[in-house]
A = this chain, B = another copy of it.
Amino acid sequence: MGHVFQFLKKSKKSKARVSRLKTAHGVVNLPNFMPIATRAAVKNLTSEELEEIGSEIILSNTYHLFLRPGVEIIKGAGGLHQFMNWPGPILTDSGGYQIFSLSKWRKIKAEGVEFSSMLDGKKFLLTPEKAIEIQKDLGSDIMMALDVCPAGKGSYEEIKKAGETTTAWAKRANKVKKGTGQMLFGIVQGGIYPDLREKSAREITSCGFDGYALGGFFVGEEEKNSWPAIKKTISFLPPLKPRYLMGAGKPEQILKAVKEGVDLFDCVIPTRNARHGLLYVFKNNQQIKGKFYEEVHITNSKYAGDFRPLDKHCHCYTCQKFTRAYLRHLFMSQEVLALRLATIHNLYFYLSLMRRIRENIKSGNL
């Protein structure tokens, strides 16, 4: 499967790299960012809008889709792409992270994880094999192996145990036959402990997955402890496979991680902040160093009579068509359109950031 990941250029200034990942539903230029379509929809947006924004790949959550509408419905529609009318690449997570963060009750066993539905309390058992079967039915381009994701402040013993279970489950997941054209990524755990990260990375990479994710970061640990563990993990990942830092992050965190050699990101930050009226504006047109952006709190009264676009250099629909004054008015009036226009802009900012990052690596500036 080496041909699906095409390495293009390694930076001389950092560990950053530019590459292309060929999936069954199209090519993803890396580094890249995945907007999150939790329930088979990126909140407030249609597929056409995602394409206009420049999304090359989106992420959808197996846990949510498994509970509602249920895998049978999506399978019946012909898979997730058809169900939600998104023609491009989709990565689905395994469901593990949501089981640990959203379900009121869960119990980890050797066999898998038992959990109660966040919707009605009904109990389910998710095994590594079942997680793959579900993702096969969803028909995603990239599937994730089921892992145990402990809290960032978990004890060494807890995190060691989570890593051991993750390895055992990864080996089982890797034995399941994938659907045609599907890739499967393994997840490295180990918290902030260098020795556990090394152990997990060695074990997970020995499985020979199509790509590798760094799990268990930005889940409550102190960020100063995250970065050494991220570096340590990456040092044990094969260079010719894509690397995905799960759940990251703020623009500056993404930039920092790219410099460490990360290729793929997902995060709720741009979309969630958009819904709260916190909008991102680049400070200049090309450079991405230092504090390269500003945060605009659009409900601030100083924008009430501001008839300029949010960012005069931005080519997104929102900035092309509307003023700060109108955006503020929509937020103040609690018009739902505000959420859409803000989401479009923030995702456009994130995807522009990724494009600039790729260009800066290519031109030797990053």
The interface of chain A, by Cβ under 8 A from chain B, is: 39-41, 43-47, 64, 68-69, 72-73, 76-78, 83-85, 304-305, 307, 321-323, 325-326, 328-330, 332-333, 335-337, 339-340
Given the known inter-chain contacts A322-B85, A332-B68, please indicate yes or no for A76 contacting B305, CB distance below 8 A: yes
B77 touches A44 (CB 8 A): no
**What residues of B have a CB within 8 angstroms of the CB of A78 in the complex?**
307
Complex: A68 Cα to B328 Cα, angstroms: 11
Q: How far is the CB of A261 from chain B (nearest CB, A)?
A: 35
**Partner of A68 from B73, B76, B83, B329 at Cβ < 8 Å:** B329
Contact partner of A326 (CB less than 8 A), chosen from B85, B305, B321, is: B85
Question: Nearest chain B CB to A328's CB is how many angstroms away?
Answer: 8
A77 touches B323 (CB 8 A): yes
13 further A-B pairs in the complex, CB-CB below 8 A; given A44-B336, A85-B322: A40-B326, A43-B335, A44-B340, A46-B340, A69-B328, A69-B329, A69-B332, A76-B305, A76-B307, A76-B325, A83-B326, A336-B336, A336-B340
Residues of B with C-beta under 8 A to A332: 68-69
Residues of B within 8 A of A84 (CB): 326
Which residues of chain B are within 8 angstroms of A77 by Cβ–Cβ distance? 307, 323, 325-326
* B68, A333: Cβ atoms closer than 8 Å: yes
Evaluate whether A85 and B321 lie within 8 angstroms (CB atoms) in the complex, with A73-B304, A304-B69, A330-B41 already known.
yes
Chain B residues closer than 8 Å to A330, beta-carbon distance? 39, 41
Bound: A68/B333 CA distance, A? 8
Closest to A44 in B: B336
A82 to chain B, nearest CB (A): 9
A118 to B37, CA, bound (A): 37
Report B-chain residues with C-beta under 8 Å of the C-beta of A40.
326, 329
